Structure 1
Amino acid sequence: MNKLNLTPNFGREADAFYAELIAAQAGLSDEQAADWLARLTLILCNHIGDREVLRQAFALAHEHHD
């Protein structure tokens, strides 16, 4: 069974990645940003392609939902 990688994977680039993620949504309304994030999610889920890993990610995201 494949496992979701929870180890930080960006090294010293984590802050740069976060800045890019925020910049990619610059100028979008809240609705447009939500649509953009949904499309990004589907693109990355397709790239991962491992349904077991995705189920683990869904469960983890659900646990941290406020």
Structure 2
Amino acid sequence: MPLIRTPQIADPDGFYEELVDAQRELPDAAAQKMLAKLVLLLANHVGDRQVLSEAIAVAAQAGQAAQRGR
């Protein structure tokens, strides 16, 4: 199964707001820990190692592009 990159979330703005609100009052370290836990929970839910590796590669590439100022 390939990584799905088209929007699949009903109410993406509501999801984003919920995600931001969950971190709003947390110190940076706690917010990072919360996001890491969320990633691990969702990765376990996906379960497909090939899809997870593809997602890591896509995210890492985006992070590198952001670091270069693109």
Q: Same fold (TM over 0.5)?
A: yes
% identical equivalent positions: 44
Paired residue type of 1:29: P
1:18 corresponds to:
16
Superposed CA deviations along residues 1-52 of structure 1, whole A, max 9, x for unmatched, are x1000001125x1111100010111210000000111111111111110000
Structure 1 runs of 4+ with >3 Å offset: none
Contiguous gaps of at least 5 residues in structure 1: none
Cα separation, 2, equivalents of 1:28 and 1:54: 27
- TM-score by length of structure 2 reads 0.86
The partner residue of 2:27 within 29, 32, 44 is: 29
Cα separation, 2, equivalents of 1:45 and 1:3: 14
Paired residue type of 1:52: Q
Contiguous gaps of at least 5 residues in structure 2: none
Q: How many residues align?
A: 64
